[in-house]
Structure 1
């Protein structure tokens, strides 16, 4: 059995196989590969696409999945402690065959890796989102029939983004030419040694990452525009101003007329992207969301070595 934790821990052969299997599952959804297998989703954070993709994906593969809301078990209504997470984990260990964990602090993932031998998928614990990246690369492969040398412009917040960093790792392994368009000359990554890892992956696999503030440089000849949520774990994160980096009709004047637009969702309409563009013919955001199901199925097959 395998864990699936960091996209950069996969080699090109493994990542290619996961991309191709995601595309396969999009054509043939119901395959009883995990009959009678049981999956627990240990979530401390809200989720729609990750949660539903694993629940439905497990069902289509012949298994069952259940969601465990960790905050409801570890805390009483008055905020006092109820049950220790390790006790929850060890109880579940006797009932299920694998875990998907979402906890933005990363602490539950770290504890789980120390105290269980069951396979684990990182369902986005702040730094990595492997199944999102697999889905993203699969929809790109489906749309363009290739990833290598494809220019992709990512509109990113300057304070880092676990989703975009995960995508950059995966895209570079597959040989893509990625541009991070940010409002500042520096990119403060969530992952430690991000730039060092990017350089090592680029040297090994051939892809590259350029960080720029120049909209024309980033968008020129780009086949894909990938818009980030610009989320930050603060109460007033929606107050962050995007200025010229808001994806609207004026922004797209710098882009190819047939550019495809991605967004991993949720999207804040008329903030990082207008509702009109998100729902336009240029957008493949909802096809991208659909592929979350297929990447979840491919990832489940991977961790069980099926």
Structure 2
């Protein structure tokens, strides 16, 4: 079975193909038909979600699947059944499962272990792979190529930043610069992995802990941020906002005539990680990016249910 549990499970060719297919779906250029007709998709979200849950539910329906939705209190996991046993049951009844479970990605591996159904990671604390695929779809649609893009990410080295680093490091000429507050960067192992992939593919991934200054967007094609308070997490330091405030994305970053687009994985908190003027301004493609979660979700579901070449 094909699964999407981590971006490290995919090759560069897979990433490119899914992004390209997402662009086709966005513009109505995908082949007609219902490739998932007759299949049953389970959608299990233990944490809140607006975009990802809606995108994958809509994608499954549009591709011809029927959908069973599970909320956080619906499964016998709450009475002590193991995730492994749940996976054995699901694999005999479902064709695919889109899941946002706990902070532990090993749970998704347990669900996938029995075989019989494809498993898609709809976000764990350590990685948000389908967000990165929506981002690749958005960038490819906007710039016609992923190779050679320059992207500045500012904020916490959270699961969105992890996914960006693991994805963009696979495309030649890409320059990804992460600006994160000290102590809130990418996990050391992830940064090392991304830099190893970048060296292999002719890309560059760097992380700095100084906030960008006026005109920072001039050297980039896209500027990206995410919520400072990642869904389902908290920070030990009660004064953490003082470290993050200098990384707020403001209009002055575009001083000097920068043409960079602005991206955000949403939901956004105006006045925290980004000002309203930027998020709602003419350079923002954040809501276009959100719509692309649907198109990339269709590409992901088609990919996981297709036969390996």
Query: In which range does the TM-score fall when normalised by the shorter chain?
Result: 0.7 to 0.9
Q: What TM-score results when the alignment is normalised by the length of structure 1?
A: 0.88
Cα offsets for 1:244-265 (capped at 9, x unmatched): 2111223443x74322000001
**Residues 70 and 93 (structure 1), Cα distance of their counterparts in 2 relative to 1, 3 Å cut:** farther
1:204 corresponds to: 200
Deviation at 1:187, TM superposition (A): 5.5
Compare 51-60 and 234-243 and name the one that shifted more. Answer: 234-243
Contact 2:152 2:176 in 1 (8 A): yes
Deviation at 1:269, TM superposition (A): 1.6
Distance 2:235 2:196 in 1: 36
Cα offsets for 1:51-110 (capped at 9, x unmatched): 11111001111112222123343477xxxx365544543333332101112124124313
Distance 2:64 2:126 in 1: 30
What count of residue pairs does the alignment treat as equivalent? 297
Structure 2 residue 262 is matched with structure 1 residue 261: yes
Contact 1:177 1:208 in 2 (8 A): yes
The secondary structure found in structure 1 opposite 2:49 is: coil
**Residues 18 and 219 (structure 1), Cα distance of their counterparts in 2 relative to 1, 3 Å cut:** same
Q: Mind listing any 5+ residue stretches in structure 2 that lack a counterpart?
A: none
**Residues 209 and 256 (structure 1), Cα distance of their counterparts in 2 relative to 1, 3 Å cut:** farther
Distance 1:291 1:305 in 2: 21
Distance 1:18 1:278 in 2: 27
Q: Report the aligned-residue RMSD.
A: 2.5
Q: Mind listing any 5+ residue stretches in structure 1 that lack a counterpart?
A: none
The secondary structure found in structure 2 opposite 1:267 is: coil
**Residues 304 and 105 (structure 1), Cα distance of their counterparts in 2 relative to 1, 3 Å cut:** same
Structure 2 residue 61 is matched with structure 1 residue 59: yes
1:126-275 paired onto structure 2 within 5 Å: 126-157=125-156, 160-175=157-172, 176-184=174-182, 188-190=185-187, 193-212=189-208, 213-216=210-213, 219-232=217-230, 233-234=233-234, 240-241=240-241, 242-253=244-255, 256-275=257-276
Deviation at 1:170, TM superposition (A): 0.8
Compare 56-65 and 233-242 and name the one that shifted more. Answer: 233-242
Q: What TM-score results when the alignment is normalised by the length of structure 2?
A: 0.87
Deviation at 1:128, TM superposition (A): 2.1
Deviation at 1:41, TM superposition (A): 1.4
Contact 1:231 1:237 in 2 (8 A): no
Distance 1:206 1:230 in 2: 30
Contact 2:95 2:116 in 1 (8 A): no
2:38 corresponds to: 36
